[in-house]
């Protein structure tokens, strides 16, 4: 975890004595991700490929949890961990390395950690995963558990259809919670968190049923913000334009945010009708793994800090752009040190469009006056060194 910009708390001005101790709660499966990068092309059957780079890190829901924690949000994660070395490594990396609260997580004796091997090349990645659903925590009533767990979030380490381990249905009181929606599935913890005052931010995966029916997402009714990509948004709303899809979704949720890939993002505030569009930052992408999780984390940060809608979109897009320049999911999640270094660098570029710079001027009030030199690196290509 980067510690070069200590003390940055995006919610500092808003905190009050009776506020929840937790800023963001989330749950889901944690994978061990092993990432190979620097491949010239896709692996070819019957040959051996050598990668110029490698990293290892907690993956799956840990991508989102790490992204939130590195942006200064007090993050609580409920997940199952294997009692193998992989599980120990992931637990330590999240709790000690990132400062994530794991008090609602548990270790499962005799259960091995799910693993994903991700190979990044040509701006894309190919993943191979293995794992088994974790059993329910010992001594927990099944009536107090989510029936099948939370659908897997986007990113390395989460194959389609994988479910999170069950956990107590009563999450901690929090300012916000992040959920992944799936057709025909309702998670009791989402409604509980919303009743307790948490703002629910949700994304969604590809609808394998082909129905693309918003009414099949029952937990959408509890959401403050819904953040699908353009293809998902258009299919769910039966529209042929991402912006039209965002306006249609804003009739169902207070905040509709549609990510447009290389074209940026578009958002509509359903309460006021206000809309905002922010173009993407042009970067050389090394590995897109976890970029969607980082975008959500940036948008959650800006929303909880009560920034204007356009600033939230710009910040979310910036953090996602910074993440794709590194490899891996949680490995690449930027913190304030990376944001500050980028802002310091970009203002020295003679060819930079002044109007584009003005879009990020809000960072001046958030960042320290000094920052590390760009580029930054933090990947560690090993499961862990002995102390």
Instruction: Give dist(CA 192, CA 239) in Å, integer.
Output: 32
CA dihedral 375, 379, 385, 387 (to 10 degrees): 50
pLDDT (tens, 9 = 90+) of the chain, 387 residues, equals 344 445 589 999 999 999 999 999 999 999 999 988 888 888 889 999 998 888 889 999 999 999 999 999 999 999 999 999 999 999 999 999 899 999 999 999 999 999 999 887 876 778 899 999 988 776 543 322 232 333 333 334 443 334 444 455 679 999 999 999 999 999 999 999 999 999 999 999 999 999 999 999 999 999 999 999 999 999 999 999 999 999 999 999 999 999 998 899 999 999 999 999 999 988 887 677 788 999 999 999 999 999 999 999 999 999 999 998 876 778 889 999 899 989 988 888 877 788 888 999 999 988 866 555 555 555 455 676 665
Instruction: Give dist(CA 294, CA 70) in Å, integer.
Output: 10
- The model's pTM is 0.87
Task: Answer for the pair 318, 294: CB distance below 8 angstroms, yes or no.
Answer: no
Instruction: Give dist(CA 105, CA 96) in Å, integer.
Output: 14
């Amino acid at each position: 975890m980067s510690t070069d910009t200590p003390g940055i708390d995006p919610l500092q001005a808003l905190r009050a004595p009776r506020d929840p101790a937790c800023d963001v709660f989330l749950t889901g499966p944690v994978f061990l991700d092993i990432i190979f990068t620097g491949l010239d092309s896709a692996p070819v059957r019957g040959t051996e490929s050598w990668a110029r780079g490698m990293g290892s890190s907690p993956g799956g829901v840990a991508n989102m949890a790490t992204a939130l924690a590195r942006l200064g949000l007090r993050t609580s994660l409920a997940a199952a961990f294997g009692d193998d070395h992989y599980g120990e490594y992931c637990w330590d990396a999240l709790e000690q390395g990132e400062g994530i609260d794991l008090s609602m997580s548990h270790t499962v004796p005799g259960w091995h950690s799910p693993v994903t091997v991700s190979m990044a090349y040509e701006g894309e990645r190919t993943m191979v995963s293995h794992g088994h659903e974790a059993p329910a925590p010992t001594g927990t009533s099944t009536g107090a558990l989510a029936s099948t767990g939370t659908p897997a979030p986007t990113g390395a380490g989460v194959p389609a259809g994988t479910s999170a381990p069950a956990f107590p249905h009563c999450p901690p009181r929090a300012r916000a919670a992040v959920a992944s929606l799936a057709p025909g599935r309702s998670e009791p913890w989402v409604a509980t968190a919303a009743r307790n005052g948490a703002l629910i931010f949700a994304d969604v995966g590809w609808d394998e049923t082909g129905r693309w029916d918003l009414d099949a997402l029952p937990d959408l009714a509890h959401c403050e913000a819904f953040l699908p990509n353009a293809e998902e948004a258009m299919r769910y709303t039966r529209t042929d334009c991402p912006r039209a899809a965002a306006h249609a979704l804003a009739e169902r949720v207070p905040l509709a945010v549609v990510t447009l890939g290389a074209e940026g993002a578009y958002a509509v505030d359903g309460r006021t009708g206000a809309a905002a569009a922010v173009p993407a930052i042009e970067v050389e992408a090394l590995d897109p793994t976890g970029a969607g999780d980082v975008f959500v984390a940036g948008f959650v940060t800006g929303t909880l800090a009560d920034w204007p809608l356009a600033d939230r979109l710009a910040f979310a897009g910036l953090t996602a752009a910074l993440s794709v320049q590194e490899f891996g999911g949680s490995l690449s999640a930027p913190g304030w040190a990376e944001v500050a270094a980028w802002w310091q660098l970009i203002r020295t570029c003679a060819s930079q469009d002044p109007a584009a710079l003005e879009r990020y001027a809000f960072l001046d009030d958030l960042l320290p006056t000094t920052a590390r030199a760009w580029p930054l690196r933090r990947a560690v290509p090993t499961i862990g060194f002995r102390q």
